[in-house]
Each structure stands twice: as structure tokens, then as C-alpha cells.
Amino acid sequence: MLTQTDTARIERLRDAAVSPTICPDAFHLRFWRSWAANPDLSDRERYATAYTAAFADLPVTIDDGELIVGKVSVPLTAEEQREWENLRAAVAQPRIAMVGQDSHMAIDYDKLLTKGLSGVIAEIDGYLCGETDAEKRAFYQCSRACLEAVSAYSNRYADRADALADTCADAVRAGELREIARICRRVPMQPAATFHEAVQAVHFISHCLTLDPFRYFASQQFQLGRPDRYLYPFYQRDKAAGILTDEGVQCLLDCLAIQVNNRVPHGLSCGWMVGGRDAEGVTVANELTEMGMQVIDDVRLVYPAVGLCWTPDMPERFLRKACEILSHGRSHPAIFNDDLIAEGLQLYGVPAADSRMYIHSTCVEITPIGASNVWVASPYTNMPGLLLDLLDGDYPTFEALLDAYFARLSAHIRNNFEEKNANRAQRFERGMEPLLSCFVDDCLANGRDLEQGGARYNWIMPSFVGVANLVDSLEAIRTMVYEKQALTLPELKAMLDANFEGYDAMRTCLSERCAKYGNDDDRVDSLFGLIVDFIVAECKKYTPMLSGARLIPSVFCWIMHEYFGRETGATPDGRLAGFPLGDCSGPCQGRERKGPTASVLSSTKWSHRELIGGVAVNMKFSKKTMTADSCAKIASVVRTFMKRGGFEMQINVTDRETLLAARENPDAYRDLVVRIGGYSDYFVKISSEMQAEVLLRTEHEI
């Protein structure tokens, strides 16, 4: 869909974005330098002054071929690096609360595009008029100053584009630079009037939000919401007016996608969603829905992490488009069950219309768009690790062991909740997000910063990792210890402590002859449902601080299955010490013995609806067996999963030979992307243990 010229443009930009230079320290140095110089100001005044100063001389870079601009790519000098290290240790770190989560959300992009920063400033001025509360006035004034600082920073990009145009020998590129300058003088300050302006405004505000001086001094992930909704009116107007072609639209979306890679380091997750139902319940399936997925094939980078929100009445071509892209070896789009997720959100008090406006806030964690201060994966829990701690005990029956496990898990959930609630209190006392609060309901209406409870939804979402390992381990114990009485718990414990050295035959029995989750075995699969039901019930007992707060569970892992695997000894399912735990909520690596249909049946026998914190099911298909009919077969597997109540499915189509070649010659495969545990990453950049885990996953033929 790209022109030849734009194809060459995108290829140049994407090659540079495989290993981008991302340097938020340039912003943090300037912010905290100003902060240190103004100790007599109040914190809000100090923040506004420092924020303005940071953007006033932050390096402005526009690379050749860029149509969407805004990034931090200039490293600090050695002298600046020393200054920043001193400021960070002496000034910045003592001031902020280095706890909790951030940026797992999407802001209200409709508000940005229809009102512009000027409209938000006018909104703030309206709230200020007659406001007598000193804290609210300070919040409003600080937020207003931050909006003006962002506008001034955009004008600096306009100046840079004009300066480049003045010396550009290529008339076509000079014209592009003049247009960039015009657009940057207009947005994000004013409401967007064209598709190009809208895309630039969306990227620029996301870029600025990424530069958060009070959060970890690293780039943030802010998702881009639903572009096939908020950009569609601009698309329709520009197409009707003859201003823009579909090829031009695709090029701008591809440029936006590449800039995501220039602001978010690999190993995280950032992107957008398309499809799903709108507030009236009508399925969104338009030209931008397809183009938003086509981006994946065009840029072939780790970002954007695109999710297709599937509905039963979505025209078939959209799911087929997703499967076609996946068949090319891409790791996106992930497929989400829109109706089930909306129902789950409504269970937690989200109105029906709002439940249709959500985002996979990084991997698969669901947060309402434009209204959230949600802490996802807070924290992760090592489920088989808790079991290993119990194997020294004496349990006369399998049910007694289960009761002991659930008692330990209950205490663990309670302790984690108390810790995260204490972290929330720290952020309440020491945090502030004045720019972000302008685009999150109901911060401005409440006169409260997001960190002080201004957002509508203040959930905490703990995630439970390795449930499949736990299920397989419990089934092995039930079978071998309590039913066959082939060994005792002390004997099993000795084997695990020895990492099965000298016990090869018993390890084979545990790993190969005991039933495993993922093979449509009701007895084993019911254990997964039993554990999920317990987790859901326990989380309902707790209410975090801040209004609109809930404790909402999830069962996905990001990279934590590797982290926990490294620190976890051998487990009763036959897994060796140090090996990654099972990825996400599907079967453990290599244990699907009856094909993809049986795997889907197992992973949908328990309720996903309450797990709004995220459920991810990975499935791997062999690229070498792909045929013309394979996309239709993959789509059929996906539909079965969704119709049975599956939350989300992510598919890798690859082959073992390519992965092995990448291990041997990483430079030749530096842009090979694979799906991990809810997110995607470059295969050659993940650890050797994670590479082995990906290789071990069952490769279905279809």
C-alpha cells in the first residue's frame, strides 16, 4: 500500500530504529538542575519551573526522511553524565517515591485532538476562576505551565524544521520540512485539522509524557489507544477533500509506529488496539483498522504491540488479515476477545459504554482509556515456588496439601496487598503528574493530581506466574504420591533438592507419564480453574487506597517466567532448576501432546472474565508447513478460543531452523521478533535461557 518512494523512506527509518539511541537523561539533567537551583519555591512551582527549563534547551533532532517528529536521541557528554549522576543521587532520588507502576495506560487522545492544549488551558482557567483551595490552585497552575512548556517545545521543532529546509538541496524534502514546521506550530497547541496534524499531535504528547522526571529516570511506555477511532474523522475528511491518499495515510501510520521504537526501549511493550465495539455496541471495522495492522508488516520491529479486538460480527477479512500478518512470522497482532473483556470490566464497576474503551496497557493488562491510574503486575507471584516451600510438611491427603497451599497463597496475597498499598501512600505524599493529569478523567474536574487520587480508576493488578507448572506439579504429586504411592513427599523433596541428579527414571515418570495441562484432560484442567477461582475470591477481599480502587488479578508473566525460573529449584512436574516457568496461561513448553485444538479446550475450561489484569495464551505454529489454507485454519483456532471464552491469544509462526540460525549468527537476525510472555522482543537480545524456552514451545503443524 506504500508508494515506492515511501517504501524506501520507511526502510531507512526502520533500519535505524532496530537499535535506536534513546536518551531521556538529557531531559532529566535539565529538570533536576533547575529543581536544585530553586529550593525556595513550593514543590508545584518548582516542578513547573524545572519542567519549562528542561524543554527550553532540550536537543531537538529531526532525521532525514522523518514525517512525524519528536525524540530524545542525543547522548549526554561525559561532563553532563557526571553532573547528572551527582544530581540524581543527591537531589532527585531523595525527593521522589521510587515505588509502584506507571505509564500502563492510554490518555484521552480524543480530548487532545478536539481541544488541543489551548482548549485544556481554557478548561483549567475555568476551574481556577473562583477556586480558593490553595492545593487545587497549585495543581491547576502547575498543569497549565506544563502545557505551555510542551507547546514551546513543539515550536522549537518547527524552528528546527524551517532551519533544515533553508539549507536542504532536495526540493521535495525541503517541502516536507516546511510542512513539518507548519504542523508543529499548530499542534498540539491547537485542535488538529488534518490527519497529518492529528498523528503528529498524538506522537508529540506521548513523547513528552515519556519524559517523566518523577518516575525512575527512564523512558515510559504510554500506549496510543484506539487510532482507528480517534483518527478516523480526520481520515474521512482528508480523503473526501483529496488532501491525502491511502498510501499517504499508511506512510504516516508507519512513521508513527517507528517513532514508538525511538521512545520505548526494547523489552517493554507499547502500541495500540484496533477493532472492538464502540460505546453504542457497534463493531469498529474500517480502513484504519486494517492499516493499523498493516503497520506490523511494513515496519517489522518490536513495536508497535498491536491488538485486534475481535467480535463475533466483525467481518471475516479483519481476522484473516491478522492471521495473514502472523503467517509472515510477525509476533503481532495479538487477538483479544472484546465482548468478554467488556463484560469483565463491567463486573468491576465500569459503565457499559466506557467498557468498550480499553487498552492492553502494555502486554495484556486491561485499563480503561483516559481514566486510569492502574498499577499492573503489582506484584508478580511465583506460584510453583510457593508449593516448594510446603514440601517439608506432612499432609495425609492431597486435599490437605491443597488446603495448606491455599492458606499460604492467601497470606501471600494479603502481604503483597499491604506492601502495594503502602507504596500507594508514598506516591500520594511525594508524587505528581501535572501534564498527564490533564488527559486523565477526572483529575481536572476533581482538582487533584493523578497521584493524589484524581483518576477515576485506581486499581492494583497482581499477576500470578507459573500456574501451569503448579497445576502439572500438583497432578504429579496427586498421581505419584497419593494415588500410586510410588514415592513419599520426603523422597520427592530429596529428588527436587538434588535437581533430579541420580533420579532420571523418576523424572521421566513425572514429566512424561503424569497427565499434563493442555491436553483436554478434565481432571488436570480443573485444577487450573480451582486455583483461578481461589485467586479471584481472595482479591475481592481487599480495597486499595484512593477512590475507585480494586484489587484485580491476572495470570500472565511478561519476562517473569524467566526471572522466577532462574531462582526456582526443580519442580514436581519434571522441570529442572533454573529453567523458565511456563509462559503465560497456556500449557508449559512442549507439553501440548494432542494438537492445538486440545490446547485451546484446556485453556478455556476456566473463567477468564474476572482476570482483567490480563490472560495471555501463546501458541506456536510451524512456518515450514504453512500453506494457502493455513491462515483460514489459524483463524478457525482463534475463533474457537474466543467463542469458548478465551481472553487473548498470541501466535508465533516461525521455525526451529531460523531460531537456531539466529542463535549462531545474531548479527544477521537482529530484527527477528518473537512473542515472549505477553510482549514481543528481538530474539537475539533476549537471554540464552529465554531463547531455549522459546525453542522448546510446542510447534504445531497446520
Q: Which residue has the cell 506460584?
A: 383
pLDDT of residue 698: 57
pLDDT of residue 461: 98
pLDDT of residue 700: 64
- Interval 564-592: pLDDT, tens: 999 999 999 999 999 999 988 889 988 88
pLDDT of residue 685: 86
pLDDT of residue 84: 98
C-alpha distances (whole Å) from 133 to each of 130, 283, 494 are 9, 44, 65
pLDDT of residue 701: 63
Integer Cα distance of 172 and 6 in angstroms:
13
Q: What is the value of pTM for the model shown?
A: 0.95
pLDDT surpasses 60 at 551: yes
pLDDT surpasses 70 at 387: yes
Tell me the DSSP string of 225-237: --HHHHSHHHHHH
List phi, psi (to 5°) of 390. Answer: -100, -10
625 confidence band (pLDDT: 50, 70, 90): low
* Choice among 50-64, 304-318, 660-674 with the minimum mean pLDDT: 660-674
Percent of the chain scoring above 70 in pLDDT: 98
pLDDT of residue 106: 98
pLDDT surpasses 70 at 621: yes
Helix (H) or strand (E) run with residue 81 in it: helix 78-87
Residues 6+ apart with CB under 8 A from 121: 144, 147, 148
pLDDT of residue 557: 87
Q: What is the CA radius of gyration of the chain?
A: 26
Bridge partners (DSSP) of residue 651 are 619
Integer Cα distance of 119 and 593 in angstroms:
58
- Interval 139-158: pLDDT, tens: 999 999 999 999 999 999 99
CA 478 to chain CA centroid, Å, is: 37
678 confidence band (pLDDT: 50, 70, 90): low
pLDDT surpasses 80 at 14: yes
pLDDT of residue 635: 93
| Cα distance from N-terminal residue to C-terminal residue, the chain | 29
pLDDT of residue 471: 98
- Interval 177-217: pLDDT, tens: 999 999 999 999 999 999 999 999 999 999 999 999 998 88
pLDDT of residue 661: 87
Integer Cα distance of 403 and 77 in angstroms:
59
C-alpha distances (whole Å) from 39 to each of 92, 249, 579, 599, 612 are 13, 48, 50, 60, 43
Helix residue ranges per DSSP H, 218-329: 227-230, 232-241, 246-263, 287-299, 316-327
Answer left, alpha or beta for residue 439, where phi above 0 means left and psi between -120 and 50 means alpha: alpha
List phi, psi (to 5°) of 512. Answer: -110, -30
Average pLDDT of the residues of the chain = 95
Q: Minimal CA–CA distance to 314: which of 350, 341, 354, 283?
A: 283
